[in-house]
Amino acid sequence: MVASTGLPPPTAARVISDVIGYFAETTEQFVRRRHAELHRHYRNDEIWALIATELAGRPVAAPRASERQLRRMVYG
């Protein structure tokens, strides 16, 4: 990464760690994180559709979840 991007080693290590952490997230962690991020700008009825679309587009797509299942991941 350092050789191909020219990033300093500490920055390259942080980027790699961030990417690995992102893809290591469970579906529930992803849903909770995205809900919190989106809640600042969207209403819940819009958020569930956005999250469902994002889940389907992940490199390893999660099984399709209903709006009720997504709400339960966030609110319990």
Which one, of 64, 71, 63, lies nearest residue 39 by Cα? Answer: 71
Neighbours of 47 (CB within 10 A): 22
Q: Is the distance from CB of 32 to CB of 74 less than 8 angstroms? A: yes
Among 3, 1, 5, smallest CA distance to 20 is for 1
Task: Provide CB contacts within 8 A for 47, sequence distance 6+.
Answer: 34, 35, 38, 39
Q: Going residue by residue through the chain, which has 76 residues, state the pLDDT in tens, using 9 for 90 and above.
A: 899 999 999 999 999 999 888 888 899 999 999 999 999 999 999 999 999 999 988 877 788 999 999 999 999 8
Name the pTM for this structure.
Answer: 0.74
